[in-house]
């Protein structure tokens, strides 16, 4: 009797364990997740947590990169416009330098140069979609974090772009002053002084064009860095997602096979339990 009672208790416990395992597998299948608490697999849970932190960080970096790409693109386009304006200013000065420009044409050229100066001032005060200046005044361009220990300036400093053109004589000048000097040269009533001023202005405009070209090359380098960072982060996001899925996602095929196996085992065990119960009842009757 004692042996039969012990066998019955053991079998009930074994079936209860099987039922718990079956319930857990069913939960894994229904949720698609096989690790619900750290105790399910401590090492995997630790790695999942680490991946989650990395995914969170890289999501922020990816957002920063996208914002920086937009700003850098605006700066690039802005500098292209500045170059176009400077080239037009040089054309006007060259036309003035040949000595055949009429007074009316000279007045028109001055008016156009004043418009170009205004356009450059507008460009210098341009903002991004959020209202932040593309060219920060009085401070260096803001460095944007795009990775662990990695930053990139999407915008530029006003002083670096518009306020520090190195001239032929080694001095520096702002684009605004260069344009004002060009306008003053055309307005100079003395022909000899005007010719010298126009020559100096042409040199200054050449220096300004080179300066802006260098600035545009620099923003191009940063755009390449941002594009590379975006690609790297996108690849990392895919890899991390795949790795995390490997740790925590349910293998539905394997889980279904295991569920079927355990349910078969439980069914067989229930038959055994029924047999043990009959034998125990027979023993009591006997």
Whole domain around residue 11: which residue ranges?
Answer: 2-34+251-285
Are residue 137 and residue 202 in the same domain, yes or no? yes
Q: What confidence tier does 22 reach under pLDDT thresholds 50, 70, 90? A: confident
Helix axes 252-285, 2-31, angle to 10 degrees: 160
Confidence at residue 220, expressed as pLDDT on a 0 to 100 scale: 96
Confidence at residue 102, expressed as pLDDT on a 0 to 100 scale: 84
Q: Using CA atoms, how far apart are residues 227 and 140, in angstroms rounded to an integer?
A: 22
* Minimum mean pLDDT range among 103-117, 127-141, 228-242: 127-141
**Mean pLDDT, range 97-121, rounded to an integer:** 90
Q: pTM to 2 decimals?
A: 0.75
pLDDT of 119 over the 50 cut: yes
Q: In Å, what is the CA distance from 178 to each residue of 45, 99, 163, 209?
A: 64, 21, 10, 11
Q: What confidence tier does 138 reach under pLDDT thresholds 50, 70, 90? A: confident
Are residue 198 and residue 257 in the same domain, yes or no? no
**Mean pLDDT, range 187-210, rounded to an integer:** 93
Q: Is residue 208 part of a domain?
A: yes
Q: What confidence tier does 2 reach under pLDDT thresholds 50, 70, 90? A: very low
End-to-end CA distance of the chain: 11
pLDDT of 252 over the 80 cut: no
Q: What confidence tier does 7 reach under pLDDT thresholds 50, 70, 90? A: low
The token pair at 141 is: 């361009």
Q: Is residue 262 part of a domain?
A: yes
Query: Any long-range contacts for 275-282 (C-beta under 8 Å, 24+ apart)?
Result: 276/4, 276/7, 276/8, 276/11, 277/8, 279/4, 280/1, 280/4, 280/5, 280/8
Are residue 167 and residue 227 in the same domain, yes or no? yes
Confidence at residue 6, expressed as pLDDT on a 0 to 100 scale: 57
Are residue 129 and residue 100 in the same domain, yes or no? yes
Q: Is 138 left (phi over 0), alpha (psi -120 to 50) or beta?
A: left
Are residue 18 and residue 83 in the same domain, yes or no? no
Are residue 172 and residue 276 in the same domain, yes or no? no
238 and 54 Cβ atoms separated by less than 8 Å: no
- pLDDT tens sequence across 71-102: 999 999 999 999 999 999 999 999 988 777 78
pLDDT of 205 over the 70 cut: yes
CATH assignment at residue 123:
1.20.1330.10
């Amino acid at each position: 009797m004692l042996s039969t009672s012990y066998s019955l208790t053991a079998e009930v416990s074994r079936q209860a364990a099987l039922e718990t395992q079956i319930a857990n597998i069913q939960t894994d299948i229904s949720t698609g997740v096989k690790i619900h608490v750290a105790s399910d697999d401590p090492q995997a849970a630790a790695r999942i947590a680490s991946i989650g932190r990395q995914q969170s960080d890289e999501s922020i970096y990816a957002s920063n990169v996208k914002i920086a790409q937009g700003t850098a693109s605006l700066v690039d386009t802005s500098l292209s416009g500045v170059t176009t304006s400077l080239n037009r200013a040089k054309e006007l000065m060259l036309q003035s330098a040949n000595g055949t420009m009429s007074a009316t044409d000279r007045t028109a050229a001055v008016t156009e140069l004043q418009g170009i100066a205004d356009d450059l001032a507008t460009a210098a005060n341009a903002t991004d979609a959020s209202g932040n200046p593309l060219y920060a005044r009085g401070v260096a361009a803001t460095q944007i974090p795009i990775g662990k220990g990695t930053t990139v300036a999407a915008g530029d400093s006003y002083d670096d772009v518009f306020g520090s053109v190195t001239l032929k004589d080694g001095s520096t000048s702002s684009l605004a002053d260069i344009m004002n000097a060009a306008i003053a040269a055309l307005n100079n009533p003395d022909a000899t002084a005007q010719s010298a001023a126009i020559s100096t202005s042409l040199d200054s405009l050449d220096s300004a064009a080179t300066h802006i070209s260098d600035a545009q090359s620099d923003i191009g380098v940063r755009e390449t860095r941002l594009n590379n960072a975006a690609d790297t982060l996108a690849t990392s996001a895919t890899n991390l997602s795949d790795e995390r899925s490997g740790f925590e996602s349910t293998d539905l095929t394997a889980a279904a096979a295991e569920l079927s196996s355990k349910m078969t085992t439980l069914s067989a065990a229930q038959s055994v339990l029924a047999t043990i119960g009959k034998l125990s009842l027979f023993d009591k009757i006997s």
